[in-house]
Structure 1
Amino acid sequence: MTSSGKAIGSPRSDDFASDINKLHLELLHNFTTATCFTLNSDTTIRNLWQVNVPRLALQFDFVMYAMLALSALHLARFCPERYEYLVTQAAILHQNGLRLATTVLPDYTPENCTGVYIFTALTSLITLASPRKPDDILLVGDNGISQWLLHFRGTRSVMNRSREIILSGSMGPMLVAGRQRRTLRAEMAIRQSVETEQLDKLNNLVRESVTDPSHVHSYAGAIFELRGSFNIVYAPGFQGYESADVFLWLFEISNEYLNLLKERRQESLVIFAFYCVIMKRFDHCCIGFGYDGQSRRLA
């Protein structure tokens, strides 16, 4: 030791190659100080995003990847000089998360079902916030039904079978909030409004132009599921709509309708256009970083 207390010959910090991923640290910081506050208008749910979700991400890598990906997309909105880089990193992070989550989904357990649930919520937000190819229409692309949507709908069985476990865990309040939105949406679906009158006209036009009864049934179901969302989002003086009011439609539409959309049937595209009208209402709402024009793209 020298008189100054420093060890003779001690290695300098720059003698080592750092294995700290500073981008990931930046994205984690951004998520907990900024992104989390844009994801819901309710204070309790915002606190879950700020505290409980990062804690869950420390347990499950696929949640961490998705959380960082969403943060990257959020940060890209405010850093135009880094936009392309951050969007690319978001895609890489999310794909890493998808690969891990896909291996977990067939053999989910009580220990990881909450992680799968949150990953699904993050994936929904990532998908709507991500730039898309001109030929993609959010739900289907050149290679068929989007991987994220297959995962999204696949987790319904996880949530149905593990509902009580999730409810009793750290993310229980978020599931309760989602259930409340679903109940509200069902109540609003039976109300008549200017918007539902247009949906009724659409339903009649579909019945007049489509001859296959199974197709008519699929289209009618997709149109009916839009009623609740429209009545919530466009209710006079009602500004309490949340992202769940968009995503619940994706849960409720049938596989048959998705296949028709994959085939680019004109009736399916028109119905999807109505869905995009709802998405447009969220361009400047509580999500806070927009959906990168998703509501303006069809095919």
Structure 2
Amino acid sequence: MTPPTSSPSSNTTSTHSLPQSNAAGTASSHGSPSLASISTHQGLELEVKNLELLHFFTTTTSITLSNLPEQQLVWQQVVPKIAFSHPFLLRGILALSAIHLGRLHVERRSTLCPVATLHHTAGVILFRSTMPNITAENCDACFAFSTLLVIYAWSSSCQTGDLFFVDSLKTDGGTVEWVVLLRSCHNLLRLACTWLKDGPLRCLLLLQTEEPGLPAVPEIENSSKFRELAALWDTSRTHLSAEEAEALEEALAFLIEVHAFLSPRNRVVDEVGTTLSWPIRVRDSYIAMVSQQKPEALVVLAHYCLLLNKIDHFWFMAGMSKHLLQTIHQTVGKEWESWIAWPLQDLVLSEFKTQTGEKEWQQRTDGAVIY
């Protein structure tokens, strides 16, 4: 069927013709909104700064959150789509994007950091109200936000050492917010494990919800070094309760597993997710001992820096192992220095390799320029 034809005069009399604008840019048809009124209308106003942050997350930040291409694609495409239905996750994305953008553009850091803080604070408030009622519809958003929460905490910490406890030199102590939120969220997510494993973020789970331990082959040499720490909570030491000793023993066992899993082998693993699995799996009583700054717990935490060193190449972890270990060293004092000798030596060796690599790269670059 051919469409009906219009008479030449129909274009001038049709009630569906576009309104004509005058020189001032306002519509001449009665009741039609002007361009000015549309652009200033609160409900339609474009938040260009937030659009920039979302664009930066999808094009840049998302690619840096994992060393696995499959997970990078999920962070880039799937997570932002989920965030459109869950404002707390969208806030988390914008907050981390602002921090990352500020890292790359130092001249904008002073304006981006307050923006990041506002988005993060709003996201956490909304997230706290969602956590008590995790469902099949919101569990993926909660899981993604909990991961962003940790990365934000690390990347916005100004490279201080109080990642797991508040520095006693600054405050009266206590556990930092991200530790509490992360552990609480993952305790609840265990109930949603079936939903998560069948959901769009299943490739991000890996170790976080798997029980029991990691499928890793223990390293004989390193395991023996770790096992020497058990002497700290030997039954002859009466100042530690049996429950505290068990918590330390379990934390050490998990540390051995994760360290072995991250060791070089013929397969690629999720470095960030694997490293994050340790603070999730340890007992609440161990976290309490860290908050109380008990030396035995801090010595074990110092050996966690061996794992953090392995992911130092991620922008949000750069230098964090060093600052955490320095804070622990200052807290426990000379008396305990021999117990953290291995992490200290590993840190020195890592810094030497980094400096040597930078010098070699500079020499090759200089040579290429001269040539």
TM-score range, shorter chain: 0.7 to 0.9
CA deviation profile, 1:151-209 (whole Å, cap 9, x unmatched): 1111223322222222333223323x3469x5796222x61333222111112234278
- Give 1:59-208 correspondences, 5 Å limit: 59-132=85-158, 134=160, 137-141=162-166, 142=171, 144-175=174-205, 177-178=206-207, 182=210, 186-188=214-216, 191-207=218-234
The residue identity in structure 1 corresponding to 2:85 is: Q
SS of the equivalent of 1:77 reads: helix
Residues 45 and 173 in structure 1, CA contact (< 8 A), matched pair in contact too: yes
The residue identity in structure 2 corresponding to 1:207 is: D
Question: Which consecutive unaligned segments of at least 5 residues does structure 2 have?
Answer: 1-11, 13-19, 27-33, 328-371
Q: Corresponding residue for 2:66?
A: 40
SS of the equivalent of 2:271 reads: coil
TM-score in terms of structure 1 length? 0.85
CA distance in structure 1 between the partners assigned to 2:94 and 2:159 by the alignment: 22
- Which residue of 277, 285, 290 maps to 2:306? 277
Residues 208 and 277 in structure 2, CA contact (< 8 A), matched pair in contact too: no
- The number of equivalent residue pairs is 289
Is 1:10–2:37 an aligned residue pair? no
SS of the equivalent of 2:24 reads: coil
The residue identity in structure 2 corresponding to 1:155 is: C
- Which residue of 205, 215, 234 maps to 2:244? 215
Mean CA deviation greater in 267-276 or 229-238: 229-238
Residues 196 and 230 in structure 1, CA contact (< 8 A), matched pair in contact too: no
CA distance in structure 2 between the partners assigned to 1:116 and 1:107 by the alignment: 10
Counterparts in 2 of 1:36 and 1:275: CA distance versus 1, 3 Å = same
CA distance in structure 2 between the partners assigned to 1:123 and 1:200 by the alignment: 32
The residue identity in structure 2 corresponding to 1:137 is: D
Residues 232 and 241 in structure 1, CA contact (< 8 A), matched pair in contact too: no
Residues 208 and 280 in structure 2, CA contact (< 8 A), matched pair in contact too: no
CA deviation profile, 1:27-55 (whole Å, cap 9, x unmatched): 11111111111122222222111111010
The residue identity in structure 1 corresponding to 2:259 is: F
Mean CA deviation greater in 257-266 or 66-75: 66-75
Kindly name which structure, 1 or 2, has the bigger radius of gyration based on alpha carbons: 2
CA distance in structure 1 between the partners assigned to 2:124 and 2:300 by the alignment: 28
The residue identity in structure 2 corresponding to 1:7 is: N
- Which residue of 246, 249, 252 maps to 2:281? 252
The residue identity in structure 1 corresponding to 2:214 is: A
**Residue 147 of structure 1: CA displacement?**
1.9
Larger RCO, structure (CA 8 Å, separation 6 or more): 1
Q: Give the percent of matched residue pairs that are identical in Structure 1 and Structure 2.
A: 23
Counterparts in 2 of 1:223 and 1:209: CA distance versus 1, 3 Å = farther
Question: Which consecutive unaligned segments of at least 5 residues does structure 1 have?
Answer: none
**Residue 20 of structure 1: CA displacement?**
2.6
Residues 255 and 278 in structure 2, CA contact (< 8 A), matched pair in contact too: yes
CA distance in structure 1 between the partners assigned to 2:272 and 2:159 by the alignment: 23
Residues 233 and 239 in structure 1, CA contact (< 8 A), matched pair in contact too: no
Counterparts in 2 of 1:194 and 1:101: CA distance versus 1, 3 Å = same
CA deviation profile, 1:60-94 (whole Å, cap 9, x unmatched): 01000111112122222211112233233223221
**Residue 236 of structure 1: CA displacement?**
5.8
CA distance in structure 2 between the partners assigned to 1:293 and 1:252 by the alignment: 24
CA distance in structure 2 between the partners assigned to 1:215 and 1:264 by the alignment: 13
**Residue 249 of structure 1: CA displacement?**
0.4
Q: Corresponding residue for 2:351?
A: none
The residue identity in structure 2 corresponding to 1:276 is: C
Residues 98 and 113 in structure 2, CA contact (< 8 A), matched pair in contact too: yes
TM-score in terms of structure 2 length? 0.70
Q: Corresponding residue for 2:355?
A: none
Counterparts in 2 of 1:233 and 1:169: CA distance versus 1, 3 Å = closer
Give RMSD over aligned pairs: 2.7
Counterparts in 2 of 1:37 and 1:64: CA distance versus 1, 3 Å = same
SS of the equivalent of 1:30 reads: helix
Mean CA deviation greater in 144-153 or 246-255: 144-153
CA distance in structure 2 between the partners assigned to 1:255 and 1:64 by the alignment: 29
CA distance in structure 1 between the partners assigned to 2:223 and 2:73 by the alignment: 35
SS of the equivalent of 1:20 reads: coil
